[in-house]
Structure 1
Amino acid sequence: MRNLLTASAALIVLCICCKCNAQIPSNPIVWGINGHPLTQLAYYNNIDEQVSQLNDLKLKSYRFDVLLDSNGYAKKEQLFVQLLTKLKVNNIAALPVLMQSGLKGLDNESIYQKSYTQGQNFATRYGKYLSVLEVNNEADNKMMLPGDPSGKTRADYNIEKSQKIIGAIKGFIDGLKSKNQNVRVTLSVSYIHYYYLQLLKDNNVNYDIIGCHWYSNMGPIGAARPKGDDVLSEFKRRFNKPVWVTEVNYSKGTGKVSFARQSQYFAECIPDLISRGVKAVFIYELYDQPALKNKDPNEACYGLVFRDDSGNYVTKDAYQGIKQIIQNYSR
């Protein structure tokens, strides 16, 4: 890979070193990154390259989406198992984000029962590869009412829809844990959507980790926009579960800002997250996705790596920035 570490990025790395040396936590941080090796064009046919890049960055977990069939098995099963095996050989933990199917048109009880069976099937077939997984992704955003609700109160949510989504998640987790009690489950939540976590609590959903998604447009996590919420303190006070930040980046990535500014955001944000007790940090994401530029341009440029016009993998400033952050926290 070619390296685009500029003079400005070098200064950022120097700043990172100073910050990290002063804030090394007593317990090791889980360092991870997001990717889409089973679902997005930019990641197809280069699993070896992705694993090599994760090893180079010293990342120990890979979070990626997996589409399931109606029985709870991976739709691209051969590729999924190959990926799980390759990650395990390289001592990289897989964190699959499981996307259920086959539940449309069912009533709430049937959704729970079918999801329970899906969870059992998934655990039986793939459980030996996994220590942690996620069910659904940003389900909070899928059950909120139109407009721009804060996500903090019951009035912000479509409660009827929420019961179906939560029933599916709960059923899958219950089935999964009936076969594998040791697997941990993280569920993602965006921004200040506290009431989604309250819905999980009220419905006795048996998950283990709050997977927070945080981007620059939300403000600092200790003083979130617009009213200065200390989000992690609120999570701890109300739900008392470990918090992993399973997505973090500058909003819209380098589609809106320079490579140096993206790297600077990580230098500012990650030490703050760790100083506030976050147990894991997952960058969003490994590769840019140019195929999304027409359909969803805001999602196209989040990567630490892009491909140039010749098809070569080129690292952005943040690639070296993240590498330096991890190195300093690992001393």
Structure 2
Amino acid sequence: MKKKFFFIFSTASALLLAAACSKQDLIEETQLTEGPSATMSTSGKSSSTFFYGVNGHPLGTKPYTSVPAKTQINLLKGMGMNIYRIDVQSQLDNGYITVPHLYKPLKEAADAAGVTLLPMLYPRDFDINLSERQSYERGRVLGDRFARRYGNDFTYYNIGNEMELRCLLSGSLSGASVSHYDQKKFKVVAAYLKGMNDGIKSKDPNAKTIINANWMHYQYLLMLERHGVKFDIVGYHWYDEMESLALKNHNISDITQFLSSKFNKPIWFLEVGVRNKTGTRSEAEQKAFLDSFIAKCRNNPQVRAAIIYQLFDEPQKGTGLEANYGIFKWAKQYTEYRAKSFAR
């Protein structure tokens, strides 16, 4: 019997809906040429496309695979969103996505709706114990094979995810200093990411690659730049508790402006969310933080994307953090969902 999905929902106002456009259009619209002082429109927003969207796991976990791909895309469009960040694993021998039967309808629905898919390409064969040369070659092959298969599907590639954690020294270190990283391990990570970027661009020269970090780990991204690792966009993850800690411990009241002072690249916030491990925090708290932080992003011309973490709660993860991150919750597990305050 076909499942029925119900939701309470109204269109979010004042957020940009991107029309379907070509790959070259996207590249031109997001090109940053003037650093932090990029020209603003008279409305106070950047004249370039602002990507506003959400994370999801449509190629993997039960809360997502239970909901048709077209329905997920329609939820994004109804909220005025134009980008969907998804985690992707590719087959090591040929580069194909491991679940083509899930990817195909998602891609078709996204294309029809004018929604950009942003793959987070998982570094599944990364090994911190390899030599730099071996690490580079593994990353290059992974990127080459993936872009060979999907270069026509994607403009943007998020290569790896928070890989600074592979080389951050243990202890209560913020990551804001070079001394907070194991330099030998860092070089192995850097080699792999350099390989991924080179491999992707060998098959998709117009690709835009994103490397991300979180919390005060901006120094890691600066280290990658100094180490000669090429990437086009600074990716960052920021959660609500980081706001108060950044102000208290680092005198940073606006991480978007702080990062603008450190980088000349476009900045994309790839994960923005509220920690709710116990499930007791209110929907109002989630909405207040997301509204406030997305406004900061939209008021900074160097910030070109704000992507919420995530679309659906994942109750199968029990007491883990991701159980309650969603902007939609389950009224009846995996068959009936309801919009939380932010999504409404």
For this structure pair, what is the TM-score category when the shorter chain's length is used for normalisation?
0.7 to 0.9
Q: Quote the Cα distance in structure 2 between the aligned partners of 1:24 and 1:250.
A: 27
* Conserved 8 A contact 1:248-1:283: yes
Q: Deviations over 1:233-253 (max 9, x none)?
A: 443333211111111122237
Relative distance call for 1:288 and 1:178 in structure 2 (3 A) is: same
- The DSSP-based 3-state class of the residue aligned with 1:185 is strand
Q: Quote the Cα distance in structure 1 between the aligned partners of 2:145 and 2:52.
A: 29
Q: Which amino acid aligns with 1:188?
A: N
Instruction: Say whether 1:99 aligns with 2:122.
Output: yes
Percent same amino acid at aligned positions? 28
Q: Quote the Cα distance in structure 2 between the aligned partners of 1:215 and 1:200.
A: 23
Shift of 1:273: 2.4
Gaps of 5+ in 1: 6-12, 321-331
Q: Quote the Cα distance in structure 2 between the aligned partners of 1:159 and 1:239.
A: 22
After superposition, residues 285-324 of structure 1 pair within 5 angstroms as: 285-294=310-319, 296=320, 298-309=321-332, 311-320=335-344
Q: Quote the Cα distance in structure 2 between the aligned partners of 1:2 and 1:42.
A: 14
Q: Which amino acid aligns with 1:68?
A: S
After superposition, residues 142-153 of structure 1 pair within 5 angstroms as: 142-153=166-177
TM-score, structure 1 normalization: 0.84
- The DSSP-based 3-state class of the residue aligned with 1:2 is coil
Structure-1 residue corresponding to 2:285: 261
After superposition, residues 238-257 of structure 1 pair within 5 angstroms as: 238-252=262-276, 255-257=279-281
Instruction: Say whether 1:35 aligns with 2:40.
Output: no
Once the two structures are overlaid, the 10-residue window that deviates more, 173-182 or 268-277, is 268-277
Instruction: Say whether 1:3 aligns with 2:8.
Output: yes
Q: Quote the Cα distance in structure 2 between the aligned partners of 1:255 and 1:24.
A: 37
Instruction: Say whether 1:161 aligns with 2:185.
Output: yes
* Conserved 8 A contact 1:30-1:60: yes
Shift of 1:124: 1.1
| Equivalences, count | 305
Once the two structures are overlaid, the 10-residue window that deviates more, 38-47 or 81-90, is 81-90
- 256, 274, 282: which one aligns with 2:298: 274
What's the Cα RMSD here? 2.5
- The DSSP-based 3-state class of the residue aligned with 2:184 is helix
Q: Quote the Cα distance in structure 2 between the aligned partners of 1:2 and 1:299.
A: 21
Relative distance call for 1:58 and 1:173 in structure 2 (3 A) is: same
Relative distance call for 1:253 and 1:143 in structure 2 (3 A) is: same
Q: Deviations over 1:268-299 (max 9, x none)?
A: 222122223321111111000000114x2x22
Gaps of 5+ in 2: 1-5, 16-41
Q: Deviations over 1:37-79 (max 9, x none)?
A: 1122211142222112112112111001112232343222342
Q: Quote the Cα distance in structure 2 between the aligned partners of 1:167 and 1:288.
A: 35
* Conserved 8 A contact 1:118-1:172: yes
- The DSSP-based 3-state class of the residue aligned with 1:65 is strand
Q: Quote the Cα distance in structure 2 between the aligned partners of 1:202 and 1:26.
A: 29
* Conserved 8 A contact 2:139-2:196: yes
Structure-2 residue corresponding to 1:10: none
Q: Which amino acid aligns with 2:191?
A: G
Q: Quote the Cα distance in structure 2 between the aligned partners of 1:232 and 1:263.
A: 19
Q: Quote the Cα distance in structure 1 between the aligned partners of 2:280 and 2:160.
A: 28
* Conserved 8 A contact 2:70-2:106: no
Q: Quote the Cα distance in structure 1 between the aligned partners of 2:116 and 2:342.
A: 22
Relative distance call for 1:100 and 1:68 in structure 2 (3 A) is: farther
* Conserved 8 A contact 2:110-2:117: yes
Q: Quote the Cα distance in structure 1 between the aligned partners of 2:131 and 2:141.
A: 16
Shift of 1:24: 4.7
Relative distance call for 1:239 and 1:132 in structure 2 (3 A) is: same
Once the two structures are overlaid, the 10-residue window that deviates more, 174-183 or 308-317, is 308-317
Q: Which amino acid aligns with 1:226?
A: N
Structure-1 residue corresponding to 2:45: 25
Q: Quote the Cα distance in structure 1 between the aligned partners of 2:337 and 2:272.
A: 22
Structure-2 residue corresponding to 1:204: 228
Q: Deviations over 1:197-235 (max 9, x none)?
A: 1221122111111111111101169x6442212533443
Q: Quote the Cα distance in structure 2 between the aligned partners of 1:228 and 1:29.
A: 28
Structure-2 residue corresponding to 1:65: 87
Shift of 1:134: 0.3
